[in-house]
Amino acid sequence: MVSSPLLFPDFFRWGTATSSYQVEGNLTNNDWFAAAQTGGYIYQDQAAGLACDWWNRAEEDFDRMVTLNQNAHRLSIEWSRIEPSPGVWDNDALARYREMLIGLHQRGIEPMVTLHHFTNPLWLTEQGGWDNEAIIGLFERYTQKVVSVLGDLTPIWCTINEPAVMISHAYGLGRFPPGIRDFNAWLRVAINVVRSHAASYHAIHRLLPNAQVGIAKHMVLWKPWRPFLPNDQIATHFLEYLFNHLLLTMMTRGITRVPGRRSYLLPETANTLDWIGLNYYTRYRIQFELFSSQLKPRFKPGAMKGPGEWGEIHPQGMLIMLKQLWQRYRLPIYITENGIPDHTDAHRPEFIISHLSQVWQAIEKQIPILGYYFWSLVDNFEWTEGYNPSFRFGLFGVDFETQERHLRPSGKLYGEISKQGGLTSEILAR
């Protein structure tokens, strides 16, 4: 099918995203390294090890970004590096991050900086991590330190990556450390996370009045497995609110109602988003059995889905989520992550085109979308999947033995799209 070109606005950011523990290497002072030692959380109990060795060779990958015509990159700062023990700051680490951000600018790449991407310093975990209210002040102090040193190098800050994923996996499903399954803990932690975000938001704005601060929010397209059954419908609504909207409601309105529980009024958390980052990956169909109280994802035979429990690939969900975010919150949007685990690269090129087509349609509908950060530039450590070969997300494949990179066809394609500023007729025809 040949279509007319889908061109994006001139200001559009064409980027990729990464995170500290997943790419930097030699991080041993955080809870994910500890989880590899405890065992039971990660594929083959793997730690990230050298990962992509960014601490030593990030610039080589920045050069690769240039070859893909990128003008933006989202990366994260590792709290356990900056503050290896409480109140002790590692100035060399901060200097290295300065060097990295300058390196991006020198290549015409605008950095977006995430302050927290899943990992906590060990000393903080020992104090109860997110389940201790003290984290609010500690996260604020860490924010102040980072922003006072790096603030001149970017106005775009992302406080916390995927808070709902982190809370749900760590305190609801027990899959991320500390492996807790308790809805009361989930709620306590959710409040601490939102208050930490708010404290960080205000701290950034005190230091950088023109900063643009947001979060990266993972949104799942939830659907009832049996659309005609109230069980599945109610469970779907519940997840949609709890997972997709509860935290955003608190961060925009400062108030929220937790189904079956109480309402929370937290005025200091209201209006603490200047933009919303959408991380969109999958659709899940949900089945809920009343008698056993079992809630589980179900997959139709032949559905286009990722490996293991990874959900369905459903590009139309991108537009649905963008519309939903815009209608509810009226804030500018960055697509802070979108990608597919595909070690063969058989599906990634089509994935990129089909999802970007949806983004383009959203822009046509006047939804203010500022940029797209593909997950990810390079293969990297994938949390509970560790280095499971089925979970490769990179535009560049990485040989973790030799640190060699190879450009995948999808990388070449994304590079062309970024160069052209969208999907040209020629790209669509192919």
CB of 50 to ligand BGC, least distance (A): 17
Q: Which residues contact 349 (CB under 8 A, 6 or more apart)?
A: 409, 410, 413
Q: Please report whether residue 232 would count as binding ligand BGC according to CB under 6 A.
A: no
Q: How many residues bind ligand BGC (CB under 6 A)?
A: 11
What tokens were used for 12?
């559009």
The number of beta carbons lying within 10 Å of the beta carbon of residue 40 is: 11
CB of 176 to ligand BGC, least distance (A): 11
Amino acid at 89: W
What tokens were used for 135?
């984290």
Segment 370 to 389, residues that bind ligand BGC, using CB under 6 A: 375, 382
Amino acid at 395: L
CB of 51 to ligand BGC, least distance (A): 12
Q: Which stretch binds ligand BGC (CB under 6 A): 8-16, 84-92, 158-166, 183-191?
A: 158-166
The number of beta carbons lying within 10 Å of the beta carbon of residue 394 is: 27
**How far apart (Å, rounded) are the C-alpha atoms in residues 272 and 297?**
33
The contact mask relative to ligand BGC for 37-76 (x = CB under 6 A, - = no) is ----------------------------------------
CB of 388 to ligand BGC, least distance (A): 11
Amino acid at 359: V
**How far apart (Å, rounded) are the C-alpha atoms in residues 65 and 119?**
25
Select the residue interacting with ligand BGC from 113, 150, 164, 165 (CB under 6 A): 165
Provide the 3-class DSSP secondary structure of residue 378. Answer: strand
Select the residue interacting with ligand BGC from 83, 337, 342, 345 (CB under 6 A): 337
Nearer to ligand BGC, 76 or 200 (CB): 76
Q: Which stretch binds ligand BGC (CB under 6 A): 140-148, 159-167, 294-302, 404-412?
A: 159-167
Q: Which stretch binds ligand BGC (CB under 6 A): 135-143, 157-165, 268-276, 408-416?
A: 157-165
**How far apart (Å, rounded) are the C-alpha atoms in residues 93 and 96?**
5
**How far apart (Å, rounded) are the C-alpha atoms in residues 192 and 122?**
18
Select the residue interacting with ligand BGC from 159, 161, 249, 358 (CB under 6 A): 161
**How far apart (Å, rounded) are the C-alpha atoms in residues 119 and 86?**
15
Which residues contribute to the site for ligand BGC (CB under 6 A)?
A: 19, 22, 161-162, 165, 218, 279, 337, 375, 382, 393
